[in-house]
Structure 1
Amino acid sequence: MKKFIQKKLKEQKGMTLIELLAVIVIIAIIAAIAIPAIGNIIENSRYGAVKSDASNVLSAANIYFTENPEDADGKATLTELKAGYLQSAGIFDKVPTAADVYVTKSNPNTLTSPAVKYSGDKTITFTGATQDAINSNTTKGSAVKTVTITTTTTTTN
């Protein structure tokens, strides 16, 4: 009888239904924890991309003002910057009117733009934002619905 049972156990392959259910429950628990975290990571990276696009616009404006010191109005619109100083403005290319995004010549230069959607209904607005204000902003993109970056403060809602 002992040999018969050992032979049957050696022939047994696969998993029982209970083992399969246990594995599925473990995978479901891991997924329930991981999916919201991944969503936050994606929103934070989109927010970071918008801040990077803003930095690129400010850098292009620095070159523009260096090459055009006689600029009468002291203002460089996105259209002017894309004419030889900025290949792509990233998210700012989606702004309906390119003239609404502009850099004002000052020390340091400041960026102003209308509200730009970066994820779903979440928006970011630049109002006289300097490079330092953009870099020092530590707001998480997944934490708030609306962000306004200015030279002195960051407002979140």
Structure 2
Amino acid sequence: MLTKMKQMLRNEKGFTLVELLAVIVILGIIVTIAVPAIGNIISDAEGDAEDAQEELILDAARLADVQGDFESGTTTVGDLVTDDYLEDRIEDEDGDGTKEFDKSKVIYKDGATYTFTNPTK
């Protein structure tokens, strides 16, 4: 009976409480570092997507200008979609009503229209 007890004590399987706590602390440190980093990556990606969207609008407006569809110096994204310069409407994600570009301005109106004003016309 005594030898059986000694064998059971020697046959240690599993983890101690200290080992489990150490793993929990290490995981907590990793999460503390990773969550803000992932948040920054997502934020940067959203900014890059918005920049690409703005560049797409500008390129479509410039193309319309070069092809002579820019009569008054102002066009809308709706016009660019109608004239097949853009495939889809653009939404104002930050809700402030405007988007600033280099030397030009795009104004969001009535929930569906951007107006691109060409500063050279």
Residues 58 and 103 in structure 1, CA contact (< 8 A), matched pair in contact too: no
For 2:43, the equivalent position in structure 1 comes to: 43
Q: TM-score scaled to structure 2, two decimals?
A: 0.67
Q: How does 1:107-118 map to 2 (within 5 A)?
A: none
* Residue identity opposite 1:53 in structure 2: Q
* Residue identity opposite 2:62 in structure 1: N
| Mapped pair 1:81 → 2:119 | no
**Larger gyration radius, structure 1 or structure 2:** 2
Question: Identity percentage over the alignment?
Answer: 33
Per-residue CA shift, 1:1-44, capped at 9, x if unaligned?
A: 999756743x3321111111110011001111111121111111
Change (3 A) 1:103 1:29: same
SS in 1 for 2:75: strand
Q: Report the CA distance between 1:59 and its aligned residue.
A: 1.4
Q: Report the CA distance between 1:89 and its aligned residue.
A: 4.6
For 1:71, the equivalent position in structure 2 comes to: 70
Cα distance in 1, alignment partners of residues 17 and 69 from structure 2: 79
Residues 76 and 113 in structure 2, CA contact (< 8 A), matched pair in contact too: yes
Cα distance in 2, alignment partners of residues 33 and 44 from structure 1: 17
Per-residue CA shift, 1:64-95, capped at 9, x if unaligned?
A: 2233x163202221111121111135444875
Cα distance in 2, alignment partners of residues 20 and 77 from structure 1: 61
Q: How many residues align?
A: 105
Change (3 A) 1:70 1:56: closer
CA RMSD, aligned part only? 3.0
Cα distance in 2, alignment partners of residues 51 and 4 from structure 1: 71
Give structure 1 regions of 4+ aligned residues with deviation exceeding 6 angstroms: 1-4
Task: List alignment gaps of at least 5 residues for structure 1.
Answer: 108-157
